[in-house]
Chains A and B, each alone.
Chain A
Amino acid sequence: MALHATMNAPCGAGRVARRSVKVSAVAATPTPARTPAATGSVKRAMTMTEKILANHSDNASTKPGDNIWTRVDKLMTHDVCGPGTFGIFQKEFGPNAKVWDNERVVIIPDHYIFTSDARANRNVDILRDMATKYNIKYFYDIKDRSNFKANPDYKGVCHVALAQEGHCKPGEVLFGTDSHTCNAGAFGQFATGVGNTDAGFILGTGKLLIKVPPTMRFVMDGEMPEYLLAKDLILQIIGEISVAGATYKAMEFAGSAIEGMNMDERMTICNMVVEAGGKNGVIAPDQTTFDYVRARTDEAFEPVYSDGSAQYVADYKWDVSKLEPLVAAPHSPDNRKTARECSDVKIDRVYIGSCTGGKTEDFVSAAKLFYRAKRQVKVPTYLVPATQKVWADVYTMPVPGCDGKTAAEIFEEAGCVTPAAPSCAACLGGPRDTFARMNEPEVCVSTTNRNFPGRMGHKEGQIYLASPYTAAASALKGFVCDPREYM
């Protein structure tokens, strides 16, 4: 793979002279040729993750523990890490270097958008400058913060935008400067988060040195009860194995319950892989996946599947019909309790949003419960659609089984706060004036992904992570509440 870059080079006096330099190929150290007898004619049985990484490196096969150079299909960054990433790229590759492929970098401002914080707004301006300088094809810009709809390019939360814009494809390798990049594993691809330095390296070379992770398998079988959602399943798993239970490992999800889920629900599961310490999550692509992807891109892709005799380091199995609605109580995503055993916990607010729990399916679920209950919420209930598309769905899509009403109508009737402009908003606190930021020590039920101290703002805030059903039920009750009470 050849890089073309204009590099600075030192001249004799120690000052920098500019000259055009053709960069020679970025390649792994050549390995000596091996005879067929040595390689063997049968490839090693591999998991999906091992196969994807083998396909993207110069290896016939990989095994857990291998350090390999992987080609990168897409690199994503946002307003919090993008400026730093490009800063490193410019420092290390030179101010005149070009990115490895200007169509494979996706820049999505989403974290601190609707704020008066000058530095936050400056960071979006920096992204714009970078997108222009490097001719970045996909930059979902926002200029008019007072009206998100006035920005045709702006999308919102990066992980949901990646999926909705057709950047997630089976068999591919995606890195993002955000821990929830693992979200995209729902599409049967290798997707994980990295820091600015690694991302800066990818910008210049289109490759990254990583270690192949072993895979843990989680089989979720049976028919999903009507009161259970994907969020309950992933909370079940994280509660089981702990926040470090999958450290350095891939988490592969399978089983009839998974197969029956749409892409939004599959993303919820893969999204929280990082909360168990996992490196990446994967779900085998099927017709559901292909239909979703084909509706958004006609770029080619090649789905990859785990071999029948692939080896897993752990195997878990659940009959989902036996599971109950769960919460992760303060202050850890693995502090698993049933919603009903927390029914004495009085709450101050509910938050429905984020890449984890602010997708269309999440709002549809919450709306269904509100509609059935035909009651008003007892606490401020904040709604933040993840992207412009989700916002549009909330306002235009009739919710199934709700007499043609849209989610927005149902939310209004239930007394929720008007759905806000799409962004990450209060999931991670952010600048002080962020919508729904927890600035007082309150108790919140949230469809987000983390509840460590201070996560949503105030250090003494208490966050119960939950599914959209549980969040909606809790809003109606004024206490942490099992959704079955309203079904």
Chain B
Amino acid sequence: MLLQRWPVLAARPSRRAAVCVQAKVSRSEGEPRVIRGKCFVTRDNIDTDQIIPAEYLTLVPSKPEEYEKLGSYALIGLPDDLYPERYVKEGEMKTEYPVIIGGQNFGCGSSREHAPVSLGAAGAKVCVAESYARIFFRNCIATGELYPCETGARLCDVLKTGTEVTVDMDKNVLTDHSTGKTYPLQEIGEAGPVIDAGGIFEYARRQGMIKVA
């Protein structure tokens, strides 16, 4: 979907020792692209201010300590009356919900990369929504923080926060373990391998698209 031709870039090779961000998806070659866990259900038009309010944007995502802090604030902007259950419990750094369910236009609003970063840092692995805003979608892939899966089904009306689900991006199906029902997912396509690798730079390195001249 995204990538057709790659340029030959020469850049520094992989040396991940110093800055190692743990919560990126980073899946090994051959491992099935399947995520099982509790889901957190949101509605239409979840904008990036709700994902990570502006007051937390003083945290710089490329600094490991601040990256972790961003995770603790993931989805803290959701209105309390509509979302009594917090995505990350007060006092915690990580979420219980590796799967986020969305409606239409998930991630709209500001371009802040802090949005997918905070979700990934909190422990989100995959979002399953009807549609995405373009900058958010692009940022998910570039950072490798979470898979932005698309579905035709109106899952936000069907699933409840806390339900155990399996998101299978090889078979393109989501299973609701409370009912056994399954729902079709759109193919993650070319975006999949990029996120598997942990983002666009790491993907390019692994593909040999970035090499030292």
A-side residues, CB < 8 A to B, are 3, 5, 7-10, 16, 21-29, 67, 69, 80-81, 83-84, 87-88, 91-94, 97, 111-112, 117, 119-120, 122-123, 126, 177-179, 181, 193-198, 201, 204-205, 207, 209, 211, 243-244, 247-248, 274, 277, 279, 332, 428-432, 450, 452-455, 457, 459-460
Please judge, given known A-B contacts A87-B60, A120-B58, whether A277 and B7 are in contact too, CB under 8 Å.
no
Q: How far is the CA of A91 from the CA of B61 in the complex (A)?
A: 12
Please judge, given known A-B contacts A428-B49, A452-B50, A454-B49, whether A197 and B199 are in contact too, CB under 8 Å.
yes
For B42, the chain A residues whose CB sits under 8 A away are none
Q: CB distance B11 to A244 under 8 Å? A: no
For A28, the chain B residues whose CB sits under 8 A away are 5, 7
Task: Name the residue on B nearest A19 (C-beta).
Answer: B212
For B133, the chain A residues whose CB sits under 8 A away are 244, 247, 277
A-B contact pairs, 27 of them (CB 8 A): A5-B11, A7-B11, A27-B7, A27-B8, A28-B7, A67-B4, A69-B7, A83-B62, A84-B60, A84-B61, A91-B62, A112-B57, A112-B58, A119-B58, A119-B59, A120-B58, A178-B111, A194-B138, A195-B111, A195-B143, A197-B143, A197-B199, A209-B2, A211-B2, A277-B133, A430-B54, A452-B109
For A94, the chain B residues whose CB sits under 8 A away are 11-12
For A112, the chain B residues whose CB sits under 8 A away are 57-58
For A207, the chain B residues whose CB sits under 8 A away are 7
Please judge, given known A-B contacts A87-B60, A112-B58, A431-B58, whether A198 and B7 are in contact too, CB under 8 Å.
no
For B114, the chain A residues whose CB sits under 8 A away are 84
**Distance in Å: Cβ of B194 to nearest Cβ of chain A:** 11
B-side residues, CB < 8 A to A, are 2-13, 15, 19, 45, 47, 49-50, 53-55, 57-63, 77-80, 104-105, 108-114, 116, 131, 133-135, 138-139, 142-143, 199-201, 212-213
Task: Name the residue on A nearest B133 (C-beta).
Answer: A277
For A27, the chain B residues whose CB sits under 8 A away are 7-8
Q: How far is the CA of A274 from the CA of B108 in the complex (A)?
A: 9
Q: CB distance A244 to B112 under 8 Å? A: no
**Distance in Å: Cβ of A51 to nearest Cβ of chain B:** 20
**Distance in Å: Cβ of A129 to nearest Cβ of chain B:** 13
Please judge, given known A-B contacts A83-B60, A198-B142, A453-B77, whether A243 and B108 are in contact too, CB under 8 Å.
yes
Q: How far is the CA of A277 from the CA of B105 in the complex (A)?
A: 8
Q: CB distance A24 to B10 under 8 Å? A: yes
For B57, the chain A residues whose CB sits under 8 A away are 80, 111-112
Task: Name the residue on B nearest A8 (C-beta).
Answer: B12
Q: CB distance B105 to A243 under 8 Å? A: yes
For A3, the chain B residues whose CB sits under 8 A away are 10
Q: CB distance A87 to B62 under 8 Å? A: yes
For A92, the chain B residues whose CB sits under 8 A away are 11-12, 201
For the complex of A and B, list the 4 residue pairs with the smallest distance between their C-beta atoms, beginning with the closest: A87-B62, A195-B113, A119-B58, A193-B111
Q: CB distance A193 to B135 under 8 Å? A: yes
Q: CB distance B108 to A277 under 8 Å? A: yes
Q: How far is the CA of A266 from the CA of B117 in the complex (A)?
A: 34
Q: CB distance B47 to A452 under 8 Å? A: yes
Q: How far is the CA of A34 from the CA of B34 in the complex (A)?
A: 44
**Distance in Å: Cβ of B145 to nearest Cβ of chain A:** 10
Task: Name the residue on B nearest A198 (C-beta).
Answer: B142
Q: CB distance A81 to B49 under 8 Å? A: no
For B19, the chain A residues whose CB sits under 8 A away are 91
Q: CB distance A194 to B79 under 8 Å? A: no
Contact of B113 among A111, A196, A243, A244 (CB under 8 A): A196
Task: Name the residue on A nearest B63 (C-beta).
Answer: A87
Q: CB distance B8 to A24 under 8 Å? A: yes
Q: How far is the CA of A427 from the CA of B4 in the complex (A)?
A: 39
Task: Name the residue on A nearest B15 (C-beta).
Answer: A16
**Distance in Å: Cβ of A18 to nearest Cβ of chain B:** 11
**Distance in Å: Cβ of B138 to nearest Cβ of chain A:** 7
Q: How far is the CA of A68 from the CA of B109 in the complex (A)?
A: 25
**Distance in Å: Cβ of B50 to nearest Cβ of chain A:** 6
For A16, the chain B residues whose CB sits under 8 A away are 15
**Distance in Å: Cβ of A55 to nearest Cβ of chain B:** 18
Q: How far is the CA of A91 from the CA of B138 in the complex (A)?
A: 20
Contact of B79 among A117, A197, A459 (CB under 8 A): A459
For A26, the chain B residues whose CB sits under 8 A away are 7-9
Q: How far is the CA of A244 from the CA of B44 in the complex (A)?
A: 11
Contact of B15 among A10, A23, A194, A247 (CB under 8 A): A10
Q: How far is the CA of A326 from the CA of B110 in the complex (A)?
A: 23
Q: CB distance A80 to B112 under 8 Å? A: yes
Give the interface centre of A25, A84, A94, A428 by most chain B CB atoms within 10 Å. A84
For B50, the chain A residues whose CB sits under 8 A away are 452-454
Contact of B135 among A21, A179, A431 (CB under 8 A): A179
